[in-house]
């Protein structure tokens, strides 16, 4: 199934269950890095502040039952006020994503917030595809540059400790794009920009792109990747 068609269908179904104010397709589909073998379908749903418990439960049931293309649905449900004034701890109503191969639902009432939302908001404002409601800039407030730089640095630390080399390297490349010009791009676009601009080790970036596209085996971050990613982290910290 086409991810845009799936996102549109999910939006229509969700609107029948609760007071939907807006919905935005973001992530790799919006940024141009969609890979059917590796990518999620990322959607941000914005609902009315006064949404009731019955509607929240109905929306949660819908999200848990979803079977989307790629790796499936990754989405957050936030209120209009939460989207309009984003800030720590980035509260939400519901979050749904895959864990150990199955859809899992997280309740905002049981968690202080989700720091990943700051990047979801930023991507929606930059490149989000409107599925319902007003344009993203009319619905989602700005996230401070300093908060994004800190988030990117933390994400790179996580990638070195837990991710594959391609994940760490390409996220470092996309972080450089944001640091240098405020551009939010996909991992693939970040890698291509690094090759074009000479902002990353050529051979390392090419290997990372091949692995990201399934043309070679993934591997843990090696010494060259670690040095490169840590240099980007240092630049992000200095910039923030």
* Mean pLDDT for the stretch of residues 4-17: 96
Q: What is the pLDDT of residue 1?
A: 76
Position 38 pLDDT exceeds 90: no
Mean pLDDT over the full length of the chain = 95
What mean pLDDT is predicted for residues 104-112?
94
The pLDDT tens digits for 76-102 are 999 999 999 999 999 999 999 987 677
Q: Does 89 sit behind a cis peptide bond, omega within 30 degrees of 0 on the bond before it?
A: yes
Same domain? 24 vs 125:
yes
12 and 131 in a single domain? The answer is yes
- pLDDT at residue 68, as a whole number: 85
Q: What is the pLDDT of residues 141-173, one digit of tens each?
A: 999 999 999 999 999 999 999 999 999 999 999
Specify whether 162 is located in the same domain as 89: no
6-29 in b/e form (b: 16+ CB < 10 A) is bbbebbeebbebbebbbbbbbbbb
How far is CA 173 from each of CA 83, 112, 122, 188, 207, rounded to the nearest angstrom?
A: 28, 31, 17, 9, 13
Q: Please check whether residues 23 and 70 belong to one and the same domain.
A: yes
For residue 234, what is the enclosing H or E element? Answer: helix 223-239
- Whether residue 68 is found in the same domain as residue 120: yes
Tally of structural domains, the chain: 2
Q: Structure pTM?
A: 0.94
* Helices within 145-197 (DSSP H only): 145-162, 165-181, 187-197
């Amino acid at each position: 199934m086409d991810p845009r068609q799936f996102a549109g269908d999910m939006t229509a179904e969700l609107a029948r269950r609760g007071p939907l104010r807006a919905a935005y397709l973001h992530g790799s589909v919006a940024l141009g890095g969609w890979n059917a073998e590796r990518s999620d379908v990322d959607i941000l749903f914005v609902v009315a502040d006064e949404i009731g418990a019955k509607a929240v439960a109905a929306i949660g049931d819908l999200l848990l039952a979803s079977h989307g293309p790629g790796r499936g649905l990754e989405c957050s449900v936030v209120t209009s006020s939460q989207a309009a004034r984003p800030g720590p701890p980035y509260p939400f109503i519901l979050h749904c994503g895959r864990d150990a191969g199955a859809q899992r639902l997280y309740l905002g009432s049981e968690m202080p917030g989700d720091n990943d939302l700051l990047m979801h908001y930023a991507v929606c404002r930059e490149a989000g595809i409107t599925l319902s409601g007003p344009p993203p800039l009319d619905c989602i407030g700005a996230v401070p540059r300093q908060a994004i730089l800190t988030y990117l640095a933390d994400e790179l630390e996580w990638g070195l400790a837990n991710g594959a080399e391609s994940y760490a390297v390409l996220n470092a490349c996309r972080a450089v794009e944001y640091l240098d010009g405020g551009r939010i791009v996909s991992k693939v676009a970040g890698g291509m920009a690094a090759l074009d601009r000479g902002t990353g080790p050529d051979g390392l970036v090419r290997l990372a792109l091949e692995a990201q596209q399934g043309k070679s085996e993934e591997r843990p971050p090696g010494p060259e990747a670690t040095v490169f990613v840590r240099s980007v982290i240092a630049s992000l910290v200095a910039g923030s």
